[in-house]
Structure 1
């Protein structure tokens, strides 16, 4: 129950961050950095009387229905929920905090912070096996009929949206939008990896019993022990392998430093761990 509440809160935080980054930084500057929100900015230029959040909501629902008709119910509750929640938040922001002009004069700073905040929100959604829907659905439809990779299809859709933005808002805004699309990809990947990253640790020490006890009892983690022998001495040794969260690794490193300062340790970043004690399969 606690896990479900946590997941639900993370969904709402991710959706809120995506909406805030777009509404306060990208939308006022007409930076249509791909996605359904970028398409809505272009449409809003021709239909200024319609609220931006309302346009995004209409597009989201339309694409969800189109995806359901053409490729079936491939999107779960979380994605449907976020696809509706994000434009609703934007619509509410338009009502309670209308913006008549950009917050700052520096366009590049606003592009960076808008993409950064929105990307963190999207990364949280992706880590919860959700997404904001939108152009993801278009990419899946393209794959269904033309067998173009979903990643390439998504890039194609975003590129067409930036072309439309260039036509409507001018070359400068179009280039900023293209830069935003590129930044989205890098930042989302970086944040998702940062959320899921773990440490694989190999330890060789004559005080292996103490280290194993610390890992299993103090950290509550498992470990695998290999028998090995030194190339020079031929002496048989134990090699302890364990996978830890970053904060757990810091505790283990401090313990080993006090217990055996001469221990041999190697550390590798693991981008995803599935199974007991980590992310479920």
Structure 2
């Protein structure tokens, strides 16, 4: 058995585990679709907040052709899904996207029909700024959950990925141009005040989408370069209860050999670390970085708090 076969065997999961994983991922994607659709129907549609993407375009096309936003989203996504099938992985791409696209369109259609009768008054706020704020929050949380569990609601992400693959152009910039194009079109069709609110909603969407995908960063990495490695190591292990990795480094300017220590600490304990190092070695170089996630370890190496 070669190395590739050994790795493949290790990654194979029992059928029951695969079913549980698939079921959990499906439930989370559906929940994300429902949250995104709720934000879209409650806050974007009533005020024509065209905050980029297919959802913003659907508001404009819905008014133009008299179709509901849910149907427009589905119809516009069909040719985009076909493009993605051809250029982005065929059945693997389609299997990861079609359920979320259909679910999002279905939830939009469902909420459009039940929310006006279920909520009184509808819309629930007459403040356009609040509407744009919560549209971005809910849509961002929903889409972030969808992305986190390996799916997508289609839209402008499909041509953006295709352009990126063929030209190498950064996806973030492609997204920016397409979304700004939809916002500007909304400003021409409706008014520029709504376009400004749509831009604010788009920013909130990005922030909360990142938050849903990665969570808030509670960990910090610490790199310490010191002449007193044993004292610093002892303090990290015994006083702060942290695992630590050590190796020798050579200064590029001074050519002096020193020791670099690396560890992770909770954000709330960075000030304790700073005080402790300043007491042991005031001349030590300390660099604090942000880390999203850390887990595992070797032996007694402790990366995260229990």
TM-score normalized by structure 2? 0.66
Mapped to 2, the partners of 1:213 and 1:91 lie a distance apart of: 58
Q: Provide the rounded CA distance (Å) in 2 between the counterparts of 1:169 and 1:84.
A: 28
**Alpha-carbon spacing, 1:274–1:40, altered in 2? closer, same or farther (3 Å):** farther
Q: 1:16-95 residue pairs with structure 2 within 5 A?
A: 16-48=34-66, 50-73=67-90, 75=93, 77-95=95-113
Cα distance in 1 for partners of 2:182, 2:188 equals: 10
2:11 maps to none
Q: 1:213 to 1:58 in 2, by over 3 A?
A: farther
1:140 aligned onto 2:161: yes
1:182 is paired with a residue whose SS is: helix
Check 1:52–1:270 CA distance in 2 against 1; reply closer, same or farther (3 A cut): same
Aligned counterparts of 2:177 and 2:190: Cα–Cα separation in 1: 20
> Residue 111 of structure 1: CA displacement?
0.5
How has the CA–CA distance of structure 1 residues 210 and 172 changed in structure 2, closer, same or farther, with 3 Å as cutoff? closer
Name the CA distance, whole Å, in 2 between partners of 1:147 and 1:224: 37
| Residue equivalent to 2:220 | 199
- Post-superposition Cα deviations, 1:59-81, rounded to whole Å, max 9, x if no partner, equal 22331113223555373633332
Take 2:246 and 2:93, find their aligned partners in 1: how far apart are those partners? 42
1:168-204: per-residue Cα shift (whole Å, max 9, x none)? 2122222222332233334434554535664325698
Secondary structure at the counterpart of residue 116 of structure 2: coil
Contact 1:200-1:270 at 8 Å conserved across structures: yes
Q: Which structure 1 segments of 5+ residues have no match?
A: 229-237, 257-261
Match of 1:131 among 137, 149, 152: 152
Q: Distance in 2 between matches of 1:155 and 1:272?
A: 27
Unpaired segments ≥5 residues, structure 2:
1-16, 250-258, 274-278
Q: RMSD over aligned Cα, in angstroms?
A: 4.2
The count of corresponding residues between Structure 1 and Structure 2 is: 262
Please report how far the alpha carbon of residue 268 of structure 1 lies from its aligned counterpart in structure 2 after TM superposition. Answer: 3.3
Secondary structure of 2:125's partner?
A: coil
